[in-house]
Amino acid sequence: MEGSLKHKVETALEEIRPFLQSDGGDISLISIEDNTIVHVQLQGACVGCSVNQMTLKSGVEMTIKKHAPEIQQVINVVA
């Protein structure tokens, strides 16, 4: 179960990654908690970007939920 959920989340991140990379950023999956919360880390230009919370909610979270509807929340882990 965990493996397939991780695969769905990774697939979602692969879908959104080119958009982040085109702006000089990237994203990594850190962990999945209780099969409902995804922890990611925005990288590169995304770290200091003033709209990164909007990107996280409207872009990343929406894309992850499209692939894995059981996910309820996406949290950016700040390094």
Hey, which CATH number is domain 2-76, 3.10.180.10, 3.40.1280.10, 3.30.300.130, 1.20.140.10?
3.30.300.130
Listed in sequence order, the residues at least 6 apart from 63 whose beta carbon sits closer than 8 Å to its beta carbon are 12, 13, 15, 16
Output the pLDDT for position 45.
Answer: 87
- The tens place of each residue's pLDDT in the chain, 79 residues long, gives 456 999 999 999 999 999 999 989 999 999 999 999 999 999 998 888 788 888 788 889 999 999 999 999 999 998 7
- pTM of the shown model: 0.88
Cα–Cα dist 46/26, whole Å? 7
Neighbouring-strand partners of residue 28: 41
